[in-house]
Structures are given as structure tokens and as C-alpha cells.
Copies of this chain bind each other. A is one copy, B any other.
Amino acid sequence: MLKVLTVSDVINIFSDAKEVDNENVDINSAIGRVLSEDIITNENLPGFKRSSVDGYALISSDTYLCSESMPAMLRYTGSISIGEKPTHQIRQGECVYIPTGAMLPDGADAVAMIENCEELGDEILINKPASKWENVVFEDDDVKVGEIVIKKGTVIEDRHIAILAGLGITKVLVKRKIKAAIISTGDELISPYDNREIPKVRDINGYYLTAALIQDGCDAKYIGIAKDNEDELFNLVKNSLEESDVVFISGGSSAGNRDFTINIMERLGEVLFHGIAIKPGKPTLMARVGEKFIVGLPGHPLSCAVVYRFIMAKLIDKMLGRVKKDNSLVLNMGENYHKAKGREEYLPVRIEGDLAYPIYAKSSAISVMARCDGFIKIDRDLEGIQSGEKVVVLR
């Protein structure tokens, strides 16, 4: 019996998927990887009191009530260099020159900005009172010991490398890359590198899926094109599964071919479902083999792409423990759109200003993928979207 699941049932199945193991990487090669630990500092930043301006470090009470007409007069006892430990303590009536970022000397509790000071031989005239801790950055103003600075599950970006470098954390624990194998099936398929004789069709899904999985942070290996032959496909899937976490098979939407794929899944593991209540993309099937998965995607390129991007990418996220940035846009629908009840639909749209217009893609499966600006998800129970209604465009 065919077991067709709703999209949320399918996502629910993913919640059982086991996360892959961790590995240590250097921050120089950590971009795009998924952090598998919270980054907690054992250090304060900046880690010392420092001046936020160029000026004179002093004791604030020495400047109380001073003004341009009645400046405070402090003894200049030297200057501090950035990156160097101050060697002398400030006592009452004294000051030292301090540049932005340099360490506040012991005894000082404020910095007077250079604009409010005048040199007069060995004396510095202060024209404006400095309040306590004025222009001083505290040792833990930026980062405090024990703070979580980056959360587990984060995809590491340039800005995270910045804070890791700042804290001297040069190695991080990340998820190892997921290994994915991609097989295309169909007697009509040829390689894009081969000469085409009509009505052969070039393999699109294999190239799309490999690119999508690489873009999505996987170690993706394109295995090639399998003929519509159960034994050939069985061996390819079995061998690929040994070296992979997930095997994606696309095509095989014709009745006979679909049977092959189901048979192979049953021979190797447990079939989880035979269809998803989604449009496009219904003929999707999936099996579990131990902690690994075999995914059968539709042969129609747009269906294959929609099911990968909006369903199967969530399996990859789950196996990586990944929390992805939401790139969706909230826009308004530019025209009425009608749909049949019962299936969740992913409708390709183009964006004009803050309006989203449906792209009718029935027979233009390939070009619509290149042309569309995103997809609108329309819930199962809806019968359409009215012009002007708010829509979320997934990208």
C-alpha cells in the first residue's frame, strides 16, 4: 500500500535522524561549518582597562571644578604606548599621555580628551573636569568570562571568526561534513558532456543535486546515471551507501522504475514513505538503512529541486544540528492564485517591488528555476491566495 505523508509528517521523521560526529578544525578553515559546541569564553575582553580616546590619564578628583579660565594643572610624568604595560602609578597631581586603546595606568580613574588639555612645559592644563571612569573601557565591557559568545548549531561566518580570533580560540569543534551520493536514473538520460541525440535528455537532477548539496555544505559525490535496471541500480545504491550518509536517487518516476526504487529500498532497509502531499514533488520516497538514508526524488527537475530545497535540506540540517539563517521575505501577492486543496504547494514567484507574482511553470521546469526569485509555500488546506495577501517568499 502506498504510504503518502504530509510535509510535517516527513519533517517529523527527520527528528529521529542522528547527528553526525564532530571534528576539530582550525579557524582558518571553519567558514561555513556548523559549530557543535557553545563557544564560552574563559577570558574577559578587552581584558584590561583601556582608554577610548587620545588624552591624559589622571585621577578624576584632581579635575573637579576646573574650567578654561581656571584649569587644573597636573604634572606630566610620561607617556604610555599602546600594547605596553604602564610602568608607573599615577598619584595625586600627576598625569600621563595615553593613546586610544592603551592600558590605563594604576591609580588613574579617567582620561581627559586631548582637545580639553594644553601642554605647558612639564605641566598639563586640564580645561574641563573629567568624571570618574570617563573615557575608560572596562576589562569586561566587550566579553565577560563565562559568556556564550557563539551558540552551538551556528553556521560559522566571517563575523564569528573575528570573535574567535579576538579570544585566541583557534580551533573549534564542528560537525564533520555529511557525505552524500547522487544517482540519476532513466534510460533517456545522457551526460551533459555527451553529444545529445533527440529524444535523449541530459541529466539535470544529478548536477542540480550535487551542486545544491555542495552549496549546502556537504561532501557530495555524483555517482552517475543508472539505466532502468533493478540489479544495476541496487548495486550502485548499495556501494554508494557504504561510503555515504545519504544516497539521493532521482528519476524513476515511471511506474516500472518507481517499483525498482521501492524494491531496492526494501531490500536494503525500511521504507518510510512512498509519497509526500506536496506540489510539485509528490512521487518522493525514502528509506532508512541503519543511521543512513536513501531518498528517491522525482524525475521532473522542478519537483526534484523543490523537494530537495524545502524538505530534504531540513534532513541535512537535522543531521548537522544546524540552525540556518532565515532568508525569507514577507511581501504581498501581486495577483490571485488558485490551488487545489489537500497538498502543500510551493509556487515559484518573481518579485517586483514588494509584490510577488506566480510563475506558471507547468512545462518550463528548467527555466523557471533560473528565473524565479523564490517560492511561496501555500498551506494544504488553502484554496489559493488573494491578490494583496501577505505571503512569505522562501529563497
Contacts and interface: CB of A to CB of B under 8 A. Distances in A.
Contact of A211 (B83, B161, B204): B161
A362 B329 CA distance: 31
A39 B205 CA distance: 20
Contacts of A204: 162-163, 165-166
A189 interface: yes
Given A158-B208, A186-B82, A188-B83, A101 B142 contact: no
Nearest to A104: B199
A201 interface: yes
Interface string A247-290: 00000011100000000000000000000000000000000000
A170 B207 CA distance: 11
A161 B208 contact: yes
B207 A366 contact: no
Interface residues of A, number: 86
Number of copies: 2
Contact of A214 (B31, B103, B160, B170): B31
A338 interface: no
Interface string A175-205: 0000000000011110011001011111111
Interface of A: 27-28, 31-32, 45-48, 50, 52, 54, 81-85, 99-103, 137-138, 141-143, 147, 149-150, 157-170, 186-189, 192-193, 196, 198-208, 210-212, 214-215, 253-255, 299, 301, 305, 325, 327, 329-330, 354, 362-367, 369-370, 395
A162 B199 contact: no
A103 to B, nearest CB: 4
8 contacts: A31-B215, A54-B254, A82-B188, A84-B188, A141-B363, A161-B207, A162-B369, A329-B329
Q: Top 4 A-B pairs ranked by shortest CB distance?
A: A83-B188, A165-B207, A103-B199, A158-B212
Nearest to A150: B370
Contact of A201 (B46, B158, B202): B46
B305 A159 contact: yes
Given A192-B27, A192-B170, A367 B163 contact: yes
